[in-house]
Amino acid sequence: MLSTAVVVGLVVYLVPKTSGWQRVRRSFFDGEQFRDSFPRIAEAFVLDLKIFAWCAPSIVLVGLLIASARNVRNPALYPLKLFATLYTDLVRGVPVILWITLIGFGVPGLRIFDRPWNSPLLWGSVALIATYSAYVAEVFRAGIESIHESQRAAARSLGLSSGQTMRTIILPQAVRRVVPPLMNDFVSLQKDVALVSVIGPIEALRQANIDKAKFANFTPYVVAAVLFLLVSIPLTRLTDYLLARERRRTSGTAVS
């Protein structure tokens, strides 16, 4: 506590002493501009929360299906395993913002669907789901492979099929183990929903950019950052709690 107080005190004391602090304060920490921009950016931030709310369950479902496909052991289903492997390698090799741009502009450009289905919000969400599913699939796959082979052997001795073994024996244990690392992906997702703004939807980051251009001040970006922190920090603390609980459960030791 003492060392933390000293560091914080030095930062608070020394930063205002720098020659450019007054200019930075006016550009990034203008109180009047903060109060003026906050309602508009907070209203736009609701869209970020909505995107997160409908993307997260879809990502879990698609990621679980991909992970299950990568772990099939039936030789007849090898094409499915190959597709899942190629999918994860391809998707994870390209930045999220590029997938959002390619899918958000490319799919509507094909004119396959009618106008209501060409919404940038829709295809931006699809891009997020497609991208994050590849990462989540690897988390699930790690959990599945962490289950000892004796579990499968015991299931076979009881006459369970491969599908029954996966559904009733392997997946319940694997999902419990991967909840903490899975939460880390959701913390990242909560921030990356702002990338949808590159294809048009006016969410918090886009509204902050509009206000910045209108008032020639960077304080709206700080407003957007504060709003994202209000969600990401509780999610991070929840992740730490779940990780500590899992360690206590598996090791029998207390983790602070």
Q: How far apart are CA 36 and CA 39, in angstroms?
A: 7
254 within a domain of the structure (yes/no): no
Split into its structural domains, the chain has a count of: 1
Domain CATH number, residue 39: 1.10.3720.10
What's residue 133's pLDDT? 94
The pLDDT tens digits of the residues spanning 148-187 come to 888 888 888 888 877 788 888 888 888 888 887 888 888 8
Those residues of the chain that have pLDDT short of 70 are: 116, 250-256
171 within a domain of the structure (yes/no): yes
202 within a domain of the structure (yes/no): yes
Name the token pair of 68. 């299950």
Question: What's the sign of the alpha-carbon dihedral 179, 185, 186, 187?
Answer: positive
Q: How far apart are CA 84 and CA 34, in angstroms?
A: 46
What's residue 99's pLDDT? 93
253 within a domain of the structure (yes/no): no
What's residue 244's pLDDT? 81
90 within a domain of the structure (yes/no): yes
What's residue 54's pLDDT? 92
Range of the domain at 95: 32-247
119 within a domain of the structure (yes/no): yes
Question: What's the sign of the alpha-carbon dihedral 115, 193, 228, 35?
Answer: negative
Q: How far apart are CA 217 and CA 183, in angstroms?
A: 34
* 125-136 per-residue burial string, b: 16 or more CB within 10 A, e: under 16: bbbbbbbbbbbb
181 within a domain of the structure (yes/no): yes
What's residue 253's pLDDT? 53
133 within a domain of the structure (yes/no): yes
